[in-house]
């Protein structure tokens, strides 16, 4: 009898690899209301670590730019600047005039932002990257038509069958 060629496994080959796929954590988001208020949902404030009741901010944009692409919020302890205001289930910063002067047409177009934290003179500050919200387009229906056929098509089929 001929000896068979057998491959043996080790116990290490049977253990699951500790490879965890690198999950990209999405940035906290918010939106700009049609009234010109920058809205922060409660979950976004919690993720950023902002206490809404006593939060005062200096608001700025990129210098030398005509259109606003980023808003910068720097916390301010002296209660000067802009304060978060409770609006429904969210908090907001009323910035109507600043946004309209910065080329943001919030009345006609809906805007969203992604918030990130950066260091400004040794204190944590927040950058809001603005972008237009793209509506989700519905795909056209490509399946079989359902229901009764329209009468004019049905009568044309009947005439051809009768001839």
141 within a domain of the structure (yes/no): no
**CA-CA distances (angstroms) from residue 70 to 16, 62, 97, 147?**
44, 7, 16, 52
The answer to whether position 159 is within a domain reads no
> What is the pLDDT of the chain when averaged over all its residues?
79
pTM for the whole thing? 0.64
**Per residue in 121-153, pLDDT tens?**
888 888 888 888 776 677 887 888 788 887 776
Q: Is residue 16, in this structure, part of any structural domain at all?
A: no
In a domain, 47, yes or no: yes
Q: Please report the pLDDT score of residue 150 as a whole number.
A: 76
Cα 31 to Cα 41: distance, rounded to the nearest angstrom: 9
Number of domains in the chain: 1
The model's pLDDT over 37-67, given as tens digits with 9 standing for 90+, comes to 888 888 888 888 888 888 888 888 888 888 8
What pLDDT, on a 0 to 100 scale, did the predictor assign at position 147? 82
Q: Give the range of the structural domain holding residue 118, as residue numbers without chain letter.
A: 29-132
């Amino acid at each position: 009898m001929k000896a068979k060629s057998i491959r043996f496994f080790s116990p290490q080959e049977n253990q699951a690899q500790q490879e965890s796929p690198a999950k990209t954590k999405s940035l906290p988001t918010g939106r700009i209301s049609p009234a010109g208020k920058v809205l922060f949902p409660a979950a976004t404030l919690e993720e950023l670590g902002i206490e809404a009741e006593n939060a005062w901010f200096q608001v700025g944009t990129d210098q030398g730019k005509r259109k606003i692409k980023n808003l910068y919020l720097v916390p301010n302890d002296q209660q000067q600047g802009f304060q978060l205001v409770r609006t429904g289930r969210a908090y907001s910063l009323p910035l109507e005039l600043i946004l309209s002067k910065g080329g943001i047409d919030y009345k006609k177009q809906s805007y969203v932002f992604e918030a990130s934290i950066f260091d400004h003179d040794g204190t944590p500050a927040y950058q809001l990257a603005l972008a237009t919200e793209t509506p989700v387009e519905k795909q056209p229906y490509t399946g079989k038509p359902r229901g009764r056929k329209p009468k004019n098509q049905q009568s044309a089929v009947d005439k051809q069958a009768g001839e």
